[in-house]
Each structure stands twice: as C-alpha cells, then as structure tokens.
A and B are shown apart, each in its own frame.
Chain A
Amino acid sequence: MTDASHNPAELPIKVAARDVTVSYSGKQALHNVSIDIPDRSVTAFIGPSGCGKSTFLRCLNRMNDTIEGAKVGGSLTIDGREINDKSIDPVVLRASVGMVFQKPNPFPKSIYDNVAYGPRIHGLALSRPELDEIVENALRKAGLWDEVSDRLAHPGTSLSGGQQQRLVIARAIAVNPEVILMDEPCSALDPIATARIEELIDELRENYCIIIVTHSMQQAARVSQQTAFFHMGNLVEYGPTEDIFTNPRDSRTQDYITGRFG
C-alpha cells in the first residue's frame, strides 16, 4: 500500500516544533513537543481529553498569546521562520495559518461578507470584481458555491451546520493561508456533512498543510497521512497513519486506540 505521491518523507517540512512547552498560570500543559509536519498533507492529532492537542494547535497561530497566564517556550517555525519572533505580527500570521473550530462560527454577516471579511482587512482585494472573484473561488474550493451562489446576501447563520463549517473553511481559504488548523471540525456534524468535510479536506491537502484534531479514530484514519498521539502533555508517538492504527509502538498509543484502560 505505498502511495509515493503522498509519502511524507518526500514532502517538504512546513511546520517544525522543537521543545515546545506551554504552561497555564504555571501549570505545564505541554512538555517539550518536537515534531516535523509536512506540507501538502493532512496530519491528525489524537489523544485523550486534556492531553494538550488544542494547546499545541493554538501555538501554531499564537492563539495562546491571547490567553491570560499562558506561557509558550521552545521553537516553532513555519517554512523555517520562527513564528514566536517579535517581528511577526500575530494578525498577519493568523491569515497564513487559518483555524476552523469545533462549532461552526460564521460571523453575523452575509455569506458573501463572511468570506470577504479576511481579504478586506488584509487588503488582498481592492475592487469589487476582484473581491467577487476571491469569494467565488474560496466558496468553490470549499465545495459550497453551488449551494449558495444564488443567496450570497443571506446571513451565514442561515446555513445548515455542515454548510456553515464549509463557509468557515471558505473564510479561512479566502486569505490564502498556508496552514489550516482544524479543531474537531466535524464533531457537531452528521455523517453525511462529515463525509463532505472529509472529502473537502482530502481535496485541500493538494495545496495546504492541514492539521486536524479529532476524537474519532476512524476520522483520523480516513483523512490523515500522519498521525500524532498526545498523552498528558507529551507527544508520545508520531508516524504514518497506517502504522499508528495497525502497529503502534508505544503501549499508551496501543491502549488508547484500542479502547483499553491505560
């Protein structure tokens, strides 16, 4: 079952973490996490509740900066550039590192304005036709265009949960991100809407580095090429998804994915 085109070993590294630690008000939540995440592929983070998946994800777009008492240490680079560097503007960083959350969170605006919001504030589009094109492209890439092209002025919140989640993905795509972070993006969706998001993720990986946190082993197995298992703030095991689910090396990974008491 070799698929050379998606062999992570052949893909360039997009995100590199070295000894990343995070503590909240002095309580350590992440211990020396080091990981290389390849571009143009999907990497899944799995692990029990509270193991630090979201915490690590938040390091990648400096969302921990906004949390009172949070302290981040170690080195984190995207394309070799240190993102915790003083010279990096977190707002600019967040345009290139998009984030999709568990609950779809469209702005209380029209479908159009939800997608146009980012390009506008980042000054990516100047004229209306340019903006129209960006919006259409983003909605097409998110697989939503055909469903909403005739009602772009309707509120984003009028869409179904699955459509809202694709709208949020379109919003993230519209600002030309390089990395897309997804924190349990399907946990509020039914199986059909979930399948559509998974299909979308599979298409998007041609162009983006995607990192997804999921509590569903099956979802991690379906969508990702690499899987990382976190446990109590440590990165325990990281490797090709197929290996993690057929032959995990660490007994903690084994116990977790087979549903045993650890």
Chain B
Amino acid sequence: MTYSDPNISQTPQPIIEIKNLKKWFGGLQVLQDLSLKLFAHENLVVLGKSGSGKSVLIKCIVKLLHPDQGSITVMGEDVTRLHNNDLAALRQKIGFLFQSGALYDSMTIKQNLEFPLKRIRKNLSKKERDEKIEEVLENVGLLNTMHKMPSELSGGMRKRASLARTIVVDPLVMLYDEPTTGLDPATSDEISLLINEVQTKYKTSSIIITHDIECARATADRLIMLKDGEVYLEGSIDAFERSPDALIKSFFK
C-alpha cells in the first residue's frame, strides 16, 4: 500500500484518521471534538448508547453527512475536500452496512448484489459475477432465497442480505453499523466469524458499531466508547471488561 511508508515514522499510517470532528443538527451537537484512528487490518469496535452519534460518525466518513468542523482522512485523502469522481473512486473501496439494511426493495436479493457488482467491478463476466454472488450468499446462508424480494424475507435475513451486498464488491475498508442487531445468538456468531473471515481473507480494516458484546468480543482488536459525541474510553477488550466505570459496566454485564 503506497500511502503507508514505515520509514517516515515508527507508528504505521492509519487507514482512517479523524481529527476534531464536530457535527451539529440544528441546535443539537451530535459530535463534539471526536478524534480516532483506524489502522491497517484492524477491527475497531465502537460502542455507545443509542443516540450517541455512532451512525452519524460513520456517515461522515463516507460523506453522506458533511462534518461542520474537523478533518477526516481515508487512505491518505481528505474526505471533506473530495468531490464527484474522486469521491466515487474512494467510496468504491469502502463497504458500508446500513443499520436499516437499505436493501433495494424493487429488486430481488440477487439483483441487489448484482447492482453494485455490475457497476463497480466492470471487468467481471456474467459467469464470474454469478459465482461471486453465490459464494457470498452461501457465506451468509441465504443461497436459497436468492430470487426472493426483500419484503419476503425476515428482518434477520434482510440484515444478512445487506451484509452480503456490502462485502460482494471486496472493499478495503468496511464500516458495519450494527451487523448483528436483531439476530439470534447462533446467527450473530456466524456473522462475527464472517466479519473476521472478511478481515483475514481480504485484508480489510473495519469499524464495527455494535451493542452486542459477544460480537465485540469475537471481532474487536480495539474498542472505543463514545459518550456525548467524544471518545470516552479507548482500549482492548480486557481493559474494557476490567473497567470500574459504571457506563462501561452496564455494557459488559
């Protein structure tokens, strides 16, 4: 990777670096002075109470929302200054799993996966595309629902289908917004395994937003707790489990 030159400094160049990010909605300040780094091949789990701005944070990273202050650098490029083609090129390298799933409800599951694949990986033949789609759907256990519409699936199945749509284009950076919410423990474990598998197989770096401590335990290299729009606590899973702080404890019961 050209953007990380180990000779320049001892610490590796982060894939994502956020400095002093601030975001307001009208009078409501959701993010205040948030800074974080995501390093190569790392799974960073972001915890935080509902409404603490986790989804807003990762939406700022892909410029779905425009930060009011601060800088966001993704793979060496300042996202806040990118436009049109440059932004599109960067977004192709980022996979984004929406909290709501956001499946295209006028298309079948297969078409949902085909839609980005056709347009981003233009060099694939139809056969290669089909193979890729089947492989990914197999991974999330949805091979037999390939030709169903999203409205015919259960909530958990929709979640998994949208995870499949995110990973089908082999992104370098993954942003997961609550990948296991609403799933049974067995399926959540499978999804956690899948997240780890994606990390090792495609050398991705990921930010994983979750309330599911099992998922955090299984996937996290490092954790961050958000509170009042700032990083409240940062550390390993062990450090979090041993923390005496009441807020942290409430998550790790």
Bind each other? no
List A residues at the B interface (Cβ < 8 Å): none
List B residues at the A interface (Cβ < 8 Å): none
